[in-house]
Chain A
Amino acid sequence: KQEVTQIPAALSVPEGENLVLNCSFTDSAIYNLQWFRQDPGKGLTSLLLIQSSQREQTSGRLNASLDKSSGRSTLYIAASQPGDSATYLCAVSGSGGSNYKLTFGKGTLLTVNP
């Protein structure tokens, strides 16, 4: 059974700092990996999707990398802002017949202090 772990569980940084969020998964046979953002009381906002054949994706100040063989992904946030404060969730979809099913980590709660 796929398990996804996110480290750290919580992170507090001053505004302007560059930071890295980590995600690991136990079964490297994934179809893709998505990073989401969740604000309190809100649903999930998709940030980046990396297909299993890709190594990284970038969107603005966000960069996500994927090392499928080692079961790891990182989300890099450059020049953090208070508006980046949220919970960041990593999710992988399995290979084979259940490639639509996302398995999530518990998330990293990020606080960016002004």
Chain B
Amino acid sequence: GAGVSQSPRYKVAKRGQDVALRCDPISGHVSLFWYQQALGQGPEFLTYFQNEAQLDKSGLPSDRFFAERPEGSVSTLKIQRTQQEDSAVYLCASSLQQGAINEQFFGPGTRLTVL
């Protein structure tokens, strides 16, 4: 079956623009995660959904970052008034059930460049 997909794969934004990044998890996966990966670093946790409920948003760097998953499937990460420090690869992952015992499967990421 299809894996996790993300769109767009690449996004260039001018500083101050708003952007929206989309994630389609594996069908039937309950849990969905967003991570941010800066150049040369490992991914860092941003937020976690179980179905449509956002259970943890402790990793979001500022209130300019907002994520939603209104129907418990597709998720959107929105960044308002982008800044240069927002430039990174944004990775989405999903897992079959809640809890850490289940492997997280990652999408290809969206590379965001803020000029």
Q: A interface vs B, CB < 8 Å?
A: 4, 31-32, 34, 36, 41-46, 49, 51, 89, 91, 93-94, 98-107
**When chains A and B are docked, how far (Å) is the Cα of A42 from the Cα of B111?**
10
Q: Which 5 A-B pairs give the minimum distances between C-beta atoms?
A: A104-B42, A99-B100, A31-B100, A93-B100, A44-B106
Q: How distant is A91 from chain B, measured CB to nearest CB, in Å? A: 7
Contacting residues of chain B (57-115) with chain A, CB-CB under 8 angstroms: 59, 91, 93, 95, 98-101, 103-109, 111
Q: B interface vs A, CB < 8 Å?
A: 4, 6, 31, 33, 35, 40-45, 48, 56, 59, 91, 93, 95, 98-101, 103-109, 111
- Residue B107 contacts which of A34, A43, A105 (CB distance < 8 angstroms)? A43
How many A-B pairs fall under 8 Å by CB?
Answer: 64
By a CB distance below 8 angstroms, the chain B residues around A101 are 45, 48, 56, 59
